[in-house]
Chain A
Amino acid sequence: MVRFDDVGLRYGSGPAPEVLRDVSFTLPQGSFHWLLGPSGAGKSSLLGLMHLALRPSRGEVEVLGQPLSRLRRGALPGLRRRIGVVYQDFRLLPHLTVFDNVALPMRIAGRAEAQLRADVAEMLRWTGLDGKAGALPATLSGGEQQRVALARAVVTRPALLVADEPTGNLDGAQARRVLALLREMHRLGTTVVVATHAEGLVAEHPAPALRMSEGQLVAHG
């Protein structure tokens, strides 16, 4: 479950303007939501709060049943490991192979090497990257990099999956394939939130949506 209660966010300190204002909503566990809105509306910022990369300037954020304001800093890593993130700009580590990039969250979580190989291999198969395990990200196409980012986000079977423009670099067929993977995660019980500009894709896959405009939530449902 994800709950925002009157959340405000400003970057940096001092009199910077709030990029998110008075945001309140609840996403039930196991739901699928689109996150829509024009560029600069605050979608990435909202997702950043959701996967604990940002802290709200005011209000309460509750993720996977944990209200952030009451968590010690030491409890955050454990919570973060239960959240998968597909970043708008991928953030693959350039010096690691596809395999090692996808294995990274499992290694951080302390999973044994022998155990993790099968899971990573399966995830690569699932995202159609079987032949690319040993490749470095720089040698991949944009679409392939996007799928590596997706594989890395879901390899630990997170309880919450947050995807920021996961189809941004993809043609229609590729985009549909990525979306099918996201819906599959949802079907397996993961709470999924997908930010996108691709209204066509949204029309093909009707689901509840959070609609943002200028830092505020203008529609929910």
Chain B
Amino acid sequence: MARPPRVRRSRGRDPLGLRRALSDRLLPALVAAMALLAAMALAGAQGAAELTSRWEAGAAAAVTVQLPPGVASGGRLERALAALEALPEVAEAQLMSEAQMQALLRPWLGEAPAVALPLVIELRLAELPASPEALAGRIAAAVPGGVVESHGVWVARLVALARSLQAVALAALVLVAGIAAAVVAVAVRAGIAARRAAIALLHDMGATDADIAGRFAGRAGLLVGTGALLGTLLAAPVLAGFADLAAPLLGQVPAGSLAGLPWESVPWGALALLPLLGAALGWLTAQATVRRWLRRLP
């Protein structure tokens, strides 16, 4: 008997004909689009996190109160601190130490400033006030002669905004993953429908659920992984472009040319995970879908 040719032999390893039933066109293309979205959400989350940490320092002291020098005497400072802490919005009022002040002013005033430094009280607020101006008014009333600086409230607002952007980006990521799983499940169910007779035959011959589900899962994992890789590769230049647009927000200069794009700010590590996570998602979804379907067989 002539040995069957090689091509035929390799087909024997695909008895369910999954190479056609789970085709290598539609599923990878859909997954590539979703991976692109996921990459953008991921970069959005990372960018928002970066802005947050950058601005957080500015928002740490939401409000400061400056007292004229010389107030330290006669218990006026203690009274001012007590009055500030008595305000319901204020969580803590703390005098900035002389060392802190000097460190802050060194670039402008040099090592040992000849001028008398003002006293600065930092207020940590219990929560961001709806109207910083009204709060400033009440603080000024509590500390006569004090100069209230409350633009930190606005920075804190921006931080809160960036945080919620981060949350939205992560939610989008979860949503994309969910949709991807649903798309895989639909594709696998269509594949099962197309190969119902072959599956029943293999089952009848003693193929285990693990065997049959494994064939689908292997194919689905490969297709989804490939699609996710494609989408991720497409995402890299898009993300570099976005990072360039955001450069001024981070105190950098936009490049304007492709080569000059800030490639280093693309989150390569997270992006490299996308194809792997995609393959795992495809594999798991196919396993679950097929095993669930197989349970109806005797």
Interface residues of A (CB under 8 A from B): 51-55, 74, 76-81, 83, 85, 91, 93, 95-97, 99-100, 103-105, 107-109, 117, 121, 124-125, 130-131, 133-134
Q: Which of B87-95, B201-209, B225-233 contacts A (4 or more CB under 8 A)?
A: B201-209
The listed residue with most B CB atoms (<10 A of its CB), out of A51, A76, A77, A99, is: A77
| Inter-subunit contact B1/A53 (CB<8 Å) | no
* Contact residues of B: prevailing secondary structure: loop
Q: A95-B11, A100-B11 are in contact. Are A133 and B2 (CB under 8 A)?
A: yes
- What is the CA–CA distance of A214 and B4 in the complex, to the nearest angstrom? 46
User: How far is it, in angstroms, between the C-alpha of A1 and the C-alpha of B11 when the chains are bound?
Assistant: 37
B:1-16 near A, CB below 8 Å: 1-5, 8-9, 11-13, 15
CB contacts under 8 Å to A, within B193-237, are 197-198, 200-202, 204-208, 211
What A residues does B11 contact at CB under 8 A?
95-97, 100
Q: Determine if B207 and A130 form an interchain contact, defined as CB atoms under 8 angstroms apart.
A: no
Contacts of A125 in B (CB 8 A): 1
Which residue of B13, B197, B206, B208 has the most chain A CB atoms within 10 A of its CB atom?
B206
Would you call A134 and B204 a contact (CB within 8 A)?
no
Query: Hey, which chain B residues are within 8 Å of A108, CB to CB?
Result: 202, 205-207, 211
The 6 residue pairs across chains A and B that have the minimum distance between CB atoms: A100-B12, A81-B206, A80-B206, A77-B206, A95-B17, A99-B4
* Closest beta carbon of chain A to B12's beta carbon, Å: 4
For residue B298, CB closer than 8 A to chain A, the reply is yes
Contact status B15-A53, CB under 8 Å: no
Most chain A CB within 10 A, of B197, B205, B298, is at: B205
In the complex, residue of chain B having the shortest beta-carbon distance to the beta carbon of A97: B8
11 A-B pairs with C-beta separation under 8 A: A77-B207, A83-B206, A85-B204, A91-B197, A97-B11, A99-B4, A99-B8, A100-B15, A108-B202, A131-B1, A133-B4
Q: B206 to chain A: closest CB distance in Å?
A: 4
Is there contact, CB below 8 Å, between A134 and B205? no
A133 near B1 (CB under 8 angstroms)?
yes
Contact assessment for B207 and A121 in the assembled complex, using a CB-CB cutoff below 8 Å: no
Closest to B20 in A: A95
Contacts of B1 in A (CB 8 A): 121, 124-125, 130-131, 133
- With CB as the reference atom, state the residue of chain A lying closest to B10: A100
Q: How far is the CA of A133 from the CA of B13 in the complex (A)?
A: 16
* Chain B residue nearest in CB terms to A99: B4
How far does the alpha carbon of A154 sit from the alpha carbon of B2 in the complex, in Å?
Answer: 21
